[in-house]
Amino acid sequence: MFAIGHFAIGYLTGKASARKLKVQLNMPLLLTASVIPDIDLLLGFLLHRGPTHSLITIIALTVPFLILYRKNAVPYSIALVSHSLIGDFFTGGIQLFWPLSTEWYGAINIDVHSLTNSFLELALFFVSTVVMFKTGDLRKIAQDKYKIALLLPFGAVLGPMFAAGRGSEYALSLLLVIPSLFYLAIFAYSMMVGKFRKR
């Protein structure tokens, strides 16, 4: 799954848990949590969908935050887990129990370059964008603290766009270019807001 789908799933699952727990969300941090496992694409020595997508690694990363921030950390932990257990589990699989096992686990195995995946990510994009707009969360992306965290989601969208339509393993489907441009604009605007305002 590309960043578009991960943002949508991470947002929708994180938002649902935040609502249930009655906690406030920081949108830049939530969107960042939804793509953190793909940091392996920047770290050339790690296999993609391997160690950073492992449930064991994710638990090791989230437990300290859950201890420190308790229920406030739950939506971000859920967004992080959703990346592997929902997004990538169905689109190629993951090394779910690394380092205990290097076996790959997955279901259905939808090809990320297929029309099925593209339409699924488009549908998720539209649903999550409507929810973000109706709840005011779209506007919060530019208003919340820690906007610098948006550099990771910005890169997660920009990287595959450079290879769009070129047939590369990580190339973005042309159907996802418009949603990608939407997120790039939102992230760029959000990171720049306040930079040029008089204090």
The sign of the CA dihedral 69, 71, 75, 81 is: positive
- CB 62, CB 37: distance < 8 Å: no
pLDDT the model gives residue 171: 80
Looking at residue 83, what DSSP letter applies? I
Query: Could you count the other beta carbons within 10 Å of the beta carbon of residue 150?
Result: 24
Are the CB atoms for 77 and 65 separated by under 8 Å? Answer: yes
Give the amino acid at 129. T
Q: What is the pLDDT of residues 189-198, one digit of tens each?
A: 999 985 655 4
- Sign for the CA dihedral angle at 82, 6, 86, 42 comes to negative
The pLDDT tens digits for 168-180 are 677 888 899 999 9
Q: What percent of the chain has pLDDT over 70?
A: 94
What confidence score (pLDDT) does residue 73 get?
98
Number of residues assigned to the chain: 199
Reply yes or no on whether the pLDDT at 184 is more than 70: yes
CB-based burial label for 154 (10 Å; 0-12, 13-18, 19+) = buried
Rg of the chain over CA atoms, in angstroms? 16
What's the pLDDT tens digit per position in 131-167?
999 999 999 999 999 999 999 999 999 988 887 656 6
Confidence of residue 31 (pLDDT cuts 50, 70, 90): very high
pLDDT of 77-101, one tens digit each?
A: 999 999 999 999 998 899 999 999 9
